[in-house]
Amino acid sequence: MKTYLDCIPCMIRQALDTTRFSTDDEILKREVLEHVMLLLINFVQNDSSDEYPTPPQIGRHIYRIIKEITKCEDPYREIKIKYNRMALNKYSELKSIIENSSDSLLTAIKVAVAGNIIDFGINSGEFDLDSVLKDVLNKSFGICDYDLFQSSLEKAKKILYIGDNAGEIVFDKLLIEEILKRYNLKIYFAVRGKPIINDVTIEDAKQVRMDAVAEIVDSGCDAPGIILELCSKEFLKIYNEAELIISKGQGNYETLDEEDKKNIFFLFRAKCKIVAKHLKVKVNDIILKGGKKEGTC
């Protein structure tokens, strides 16, 4: 998905939020904003509809600026540990909701989407997990390629599940467990190559014991999304060989939505007006969307 002009103010707000997590120094905050605006001026000056950057491509540069100026490598470290713990505390309750539902796979998908609210990039960490859970469990999908997803699962032997945020991964693990209960296949769980916002890293995946259900793989990329040309060979091998890819979260959607890969499914909550408009859904709609080739939308 291209970066729209509306993304610019949002990116500056996100940069300011992360800078505040990184430093209390007012001068450094101003320095970050100066460099981020210079970067964005460069973006508005170069309008090429053929080769546009996606929001995570610009985001990657923004978070590099913040790291370089504030010298803070992982400002959300404590936040990530906290939300992993908070989500782990919900594990049994959610497991029971899934197991007691009439369609446990669909409920597990909804639980995984609800977890997508734990996002410090887009919503500045302002969310109420319990009310989102309640809302999502009772909600219909804005886009729902569920039948296609099930038939793809039946055919798959290897799945790549691309994770999004810390905390949220506990909800992803519940979905992975539900898939493994039904289908005999191997699952790879991809994490970010380096800390960026509260996106999942290898430490987070280990904290929630994701390695008990999936093989953890590092994307090799430090963007808040999957930029294929920056990913490691190891990741790309799995990406190309997997018969089914579950791409979790808006950032991964923004970087992979144009990929000509028939077996990719995007699972997320449309968190901003721009993405909602791009998908012709409402803000906060939940999405299970097949990829470019086979998806119904």
Where do contacts with its own copies occur on this chain (CB under 8 A)?
5-6, 8-10, 12-13, 16, 26-27, 29-31, 33-34, 37-38, 40-41, 44-45, 47
**Burial profile 22-33: b = 16 or more Cβ within 10 angstroms, e = fewer:** bbeeeebbebbb
The smaller minimum CB distance to its own copies, of residues 119 and 204, is found at 119
- Choose between 65 and 98: whose C-beta lies nearer to its own copies: 65
Q: Shortest Cβ distance from residue 208 to its own copies (Å)?
A: 33
Pairwise CA distance, residues 145 & 152, whole Å: 11
Q: Is the Cβ of residue 59 or residue 115 nearer to its own copies in the bound state?
A: 59
Which of 153, 235, 230 has its CA nearest to residue 190?
Answer: 235
Rounded to a whole number of angstroms, the minimum distance from the CB of residue 51 to its own copies is 16
Nearer to its own copies, 38 or 297 (CB): 38
Cα 283 to Cα 142: distance, rounded to the nearest angstrom:
10
Which strand ranges, in their side-by-side order, compose the sheet holding 264-269?
A: 141-144, 286-290, 264-269, 244-248, 158-162, 186-191, 215-218
> In whole angstroms, how close is the CB of 135 to its own copies at the nearest point?
21
Q: Which is nearer to its own copies, 54 or 219 (CB)?
A: 54
The radius of gyration of the chain's CA atoms, rounded to the nearest angstrom, is 18
Instruction: State the nearest-atom distance from the C-beta of 11 to its own copies, in Å.
Output: 8
Residues in the chain: 297
CB of 114 to its own copies, least distance (A): 26
**Residue 12 or 185 with smaller CB distance to its own copies:** 12
Return phi, psi of residue 217, to 5°: -130, 140
User: 287: closest CA among 127, 112, 130?
Assistant: 112
Q: C-beta of 7: minimal distance to its own copies in Å?
A: 10
What is the number of other CB atoms lying within 10 angstroms of the CB of residue 16? 15
CB 288 within 8 A of CB 143: yes
